[in-house]
Amino acid sequence: MGTNDTTSAGASAQREYDRRRARDEAKIRETWGEGRLGTMAVALSSERQSTVAWKSGAVGEAVVGRTLDAIASDDLVVLHDRRIPRSRANIDHIAVTRSGVWVIDAKRYRDKRPSLRVEGGLFRPRVEKLMVGGDPTRLVDSVLHQMQLVHELIDPVPVSGALCFVDADWPLIGGSFSTRGVEVCWPKKLAKRLTSLDGQVDVAATAAAIGERFLPA
């Protein structure tokens, strides 16, 4: 297995971006033709937001991937861009450490601040919501689902989760937090957390089992 996966972080997101961009260009050329007019129309057109999102996602995954690769070792194996069986979805990064496995979802929200909103309390059930730029998200639900899939494979090895935000508007002091068992942080913070862990997990064997089940996307 080695200390690190050879799969490129963000590769599947980049491929989807390229596919959507080619599709959008083909539709423009259907209207304006393949000549100079069509080329000008392509150059002047704006990419669809749904297409741009895949490019941003690929960049975020690549940034997190490089940070994880920099700390990879015999005691910390990193797997990138792993396909979830019987699904079109994928897990961005899986880090196998001596203390357990981390399922990591990379997100790029430029200049938007992740925060935690807590509702309820004494007389109502406590509900935690992850907000990004003031908007509620279901990002934690997605990570928890991925964690469960990995846990079912490697139980009783502990499985943790992290949402790692790139280019977010983090405050100068503090900023990172945990919600529903998922760490919310930035790449360097996550790397520091992972390298501080210790335990008795067989890293190589666990990484091999995960790699056989969750193939490169």
Could you tell me which of 177, 184, 193 has the C-alpha nearest to residue 140? Answer: 184
Give pLDDT tens digits for 5-59: 667 776 777 776 677 676 776 776 677 778 776 676 546 566 666 665 657 778 8
CA–CA dist 159, 152 (Å, integer): 10
CA–CA dist 10, 13 (Å, integer): 5
pTM over 0.85: no
Full strand arrangement of the beta sheet holding 114-119: 114-119, 127-132, 135-136
Give pLDDT tens digits for 161-215: 999 999 999 998 889 999 999 999 999 999 999 999 999 999 999 999 999 999 9
